[in-house]
Structure 1
Amino acid sequence: MTNVDDVVQERIAAAARKREQEQQQRAELGQARQRGVSARHKAALERLAHSEQLGARVALAALRRDARGVALALANVEPGEVRRVAGVALAAITELALTAPAANVATTTKALAEMAARPTRGVGESKSLVQIAGDPPR
C-alpha cells in the first residue's frame, strides 16, 4: 500500500507545484500588463500636455487676429493631433470669453502667452487661464 500512497502524494505535490507555477505566471503577466498600462498612460499624458501647449499658441495667435500665426502653429502639428490642439485652443478662447471681463482680456492674453511658452507639464499639473491670469477684478 505504501506504493499507492507514494503515487498519490507525488500527484498531490505535482498539482501543488503546477498551481504555484500558474500563480507565479499570472503575477508576472499582471506586472507586465501594469507596466504596459502605465507606459501607455504616461505617453497619453505627454501627448495631452504637448497638445495643451500647442493649443495655447493657436489660441494666442487667434486672439491677436493673426491668421498667418494660426496657420503656422497648426502647420507644425501632427495630422492626427490637429483636432485635439484645435479643441484646446477653442476651449482656451471659450474660457476667456466666459470668464474674463473686457478690461481683463490683455491679462488673459498675457497668461496665454506664458502658457504657450511654458515647458510641457503632465496632466493634472496644468493651470487654467483664470489661475494663471489671476481672479478677474470685480
Structure 2
Amino acid sequence: MRQFWNIPSLPVFSLATYSKPISHPTSVNMNICTFVNKVSIVPKRYSVAVYHNTKTLNNLDENPNSVLQLLCENQINLVRTLGKKSGWDYDKSKFLIDRKLLIDWKGLPVLSGAIAYAYLKAIDKMNAGDHTIYLFDVLHFTKSDRKDYLTIHHIY
C-alpha cells in the first residue's frame, strides 16, 4: 500500500559518498534515496535526506563531497543491495567493483549507466527525525537524453 509520501512517482537516486582517499574505488559507499529535492536554481542546490547511523552519514560528516546519481529502470536490481544493506556490515564498493559497475567521473567512482550525475558539496545539515537533511551546492552535473529513470512505483 502506498503511503502519502509514495503517492507521486518520485525518482530513485543513489548518493555516492566517499571516505579518504576519495578517488580510490574502495572509498565509495552508495545508498538509495528518494527524499531528494531541488531547492534553488541560482545557486543550484539540492536537499537530500540521509538515515541516521549510516555509513553514508558518517562519510558526509568526514567529507562534504558526494555524487547524486539518477538511476535508470534497468538498475532496479541495485536497490536491494544499495538501499537495504548497511555499508557498516556489507562492502558495497566490493560488490560494485566485482560486478564492474563503477566508472570514473570527475575523478570519482560512480555507477556506470546512471541517467544523470551531480557533483555535490554539503553546505549545511539539520536533524529531521530519523534522517539528517543535507543541503548541497551543485558543483557540476551531466545528464543523458534517456527518459527511462527508475521511480518508486517500479519498486513498490
Normalising by the residue count of structure 2, what TM-score does the alignment of the two structures yield? 0.28
The structure whose residues are more often strand, as a share, is 2
Normalising by the residue count of structure 1, what TM-score does the alignment of the two structures yield? 0.30
Larger Rg: 1
